[in-house]
Amino acid sequence: MRALLQRVSSGNVIVDGKIVAEIDRGVVILLGIAPHDGEEQARYLVEKIANLRIFEDENGKLNLSLLDIGGAAIVVSQFTLYADTRKGRRPSFTDAALPEIASPLVDRFTELLIEQGVPAQQGIFGAHMLVNIANDGPVTIWMER
């Protein structure tokens, strides 16, 4: 499982001209699922993301977590995080999980964030999404499990 975490001052996801997810301060998580991923990987990343100290305290130090600031999250399924570009000019996505594996795990990942106390929304799996990210900092972190 791979997550590209972006700290945002705001973010939203638009599908077919309609906003399907929208947050103010928090994180947008681009989430890639591999065929062997499951609940264990999701739980690990969710716990790390909820508690990762990537927000400034009163002294300007990255010392506060998503939970500390009461931030929210948007989860966006992103199979292209498993792109293999070593050969040719067209990426291969054979390392990404098939939709029947990935879709329920993206849903579960979002549920686990909510269980951790992080208000979470998600894009629409498999849809063409316009993801607007006001990257704050910028702070962008790559995570893998």
- 6 labelled catalytic: no
Q: Which of 6, 41, 55, 79 is catalytic?
A: 79
- Reference 122, options 76, 66, 59; nearest CA is 76
Q: Which residue has the tokens 């739980």?
A: 43
Q: Which of 6, 41, 55, 78 is catalytic?
A: 78
- 78 labelled catalytic: yes
CA atoms within 13 A on the CB side of 76: 27
Q: Taking a C-beta distance cutoff of 8 angstroms, is the pair 78, 3 a contact? A: no
Partner residues linked to 10 by β-bridges: 134
**Number of neighbours of residue 137 by Cβ within 10 angstroms:** 13
Q: Assign residue 63 a region: left if phi > 0, alpha if psi is -120 to 50, beta otherwise?
A: alpha
Cα angle 27, 102, 114 (rounded to 5 degrees) comes to 40
Residues marked active site are found at 78-80
